[in-house]
Amino acid sequence: MKSIQAATRNSTAQDVDFDAFYERLFPRAVALAHALAGSRLAEDIAQDAFWVTYQRWDELESPERWLMRVITNRSRSALRRSYAEARALKRLFADRATTVVVPEPVADFWTAVKRLPHRQAQVIALLFVEELSTQEAAGVLECSEATVRVHLHRAKQRLAERFQAEV
């Protein structure tokens, strides 16, 4: 791991390259994190992913692919923590009444996506938020293109069942 001193070094050509990378990809990174983990966590996940990318900047062959991979993994971890927290709060406040908020249709869709198995949710987000091809998504997820297509098909089936639509 690089030292703090290395992280705060004087501006170099690599830093300028990273700054341009950050400026170009930050909105996309937040959108991907939002699709996978929700609005509350999106910016934190994106910032964290950029920090991890910056730390490995000199080693990376494809920084953009690495960034997306970190976002998908961190989003999954954040959701696990959120679900664990929700279960703990539910146990803690089991006897208290709760208020149910009906989400908007778009929010309802992304909530349903977040409930998919993690690989299916990642594929949906990469293909429809990031607008990647199945080949590019396979590169990010480090799996075959056929595997991405299978996850996409299964995700579409589950979402169609959830929303009572046809695939």
Residue 110 is predicted with a pLDDT of: 85
CATH code of 63's domain: 1.10.1740
Give CA separation, 2 vs 62, 70, 85, 125, in Å: 20, 18, 32, 31
Rounded Cα gap, residues 31 and 13, in angstroms: 28
Residue 7 is predicted with a pLDDT of: 46
Give CA separation, 27 vs 17, 23, 46, 106, 141, in Å: 17, 8, 9, 19, 20
Of 60, 95, 130, which closes a domain? 95
* Overall number of domains in the chain: 2
Which domain does 12 fall in, by range?
A: 1-95
Rounded Cα gap, residues 102 and 32, in angstroms: 23
Of 95, 123, 152, which closes a domain? 95
Asked if 90 and 103 sit in the same domain, the reply is no
Asked if 17 and 58 sit in the same domain, the reply is yes
Of 76, 95, 114, which closes a domain? 95
Q: Tens digit of pLDDT per residue, the chain (167 long)?
A: 343 334 444 456 677 799 999 999 999 999 999 999 888 889 999 999 999 999 999 999 999 999 999 999 999 888 887 777 777 767 666 665 555 454 466 778 888 898 999 999 999 999 988 889 999 999 999 999 999 999 999 999 999 888 887 65
Asked if 87 and 107 sit in the same domain, the reply is no
CATH code of 163's domain: 1.10.10.10
Asked if 143 and 113 sit in the same domain, the reply is yes
**CB contact set of 32 (below 8 Å; sequence gap of 6+):** 46, 68, 71, 72, 75, 125, 126, 129, 130
Asked if 115 and 150 sit in the same domain, the reply is yes
Handedness of CA 100, 31, 61, 19 (dihedral sign): negative
Residue 82 is predicted with a pLDDT of: 76
Asked if 68 and 120 sit in the same domain, the reply is no
Asked if 30 and 112 sit in the same domain, the reply is no
Asked if 37 and 83 sit in the same domain, the reply is yes
Q: How big is the chain by its Cα radius of gyration, in Å?
A: 18
Residue 4 is predicted with a pLDDT of: 35
CB 46 within 8 A of CB 26: yes
CA 150 to chain centroid: 19
Give CA separation, 102 vs 85, 99, 105, 107, 108, in Å: 21, 10, 9, 9, 8
Asked if 41 and 21 sit in the same domain, the reply is yes
- Regarding pTM above 0.85, the answer is no
Residue 146 is predicted with a pLDDT of: 97
